[in-house]
Amino acid sequence: MLLLARAGIACFGYERIRRFLGKSQRDRRGTAPPAGEIESIAWAFNTASHYVLGNHDCLTLALAAQYTLNRRGVATDLRIGVKRDEAGALEAHAWLERSGQILIGRPASAEHQLLPAFNVWS
């Protein structure tokens, strides 16, 4: 899933992938698995991402995990924070939350401006 998410973002861009996920997932609500299983899935994605993606692809990690968890009936929010670096270039960081708790990644720093959360079921 991590490699598919990376390829999708590279080929089609974030916005098209986000729209695709929204359309493909909106009607797939199921019964969420137990909390222990959700934590295991999050752990697996966080661990695998270090080997598959390195430490610099937080958006791919968050999208792949969101897709997988949502297919299992777990509603999640993809969060993105943006800021300007010293040279004025835009920097972004993504992570995944469930009910306000971070499942995937780490939150943005205090300097980041938070964008609206993306939840395929909203």
pLDDT at position 122 is 46
- Average pLDDT for residues 73-83, to the nearest whole number? 89
Q: How many domains would you assign to the chain?
A: 1
73 falls within a domain = yes
* Residue 34 confidence class, pLDDT cut points 50, 70, 90: confident
In a domain, 121, yes or no: no
42 band by pLDDT with thresholds 50, 70 and 90 = very high
The CA radius of gyration of the chain, in Å to the nearest whole number, is 14
| C-alpha distances in Å from residue 12, one per residue of 5, 15, 73, 88, 122 | 10, 8, 26, 26, 23
User: Structural domain of residue 64, as residue ranges?
Assistant: 2-114
pLDDT exceeds cutoff 80 at 102: yes
Q: Is residue 120 part of a domain?
A: no
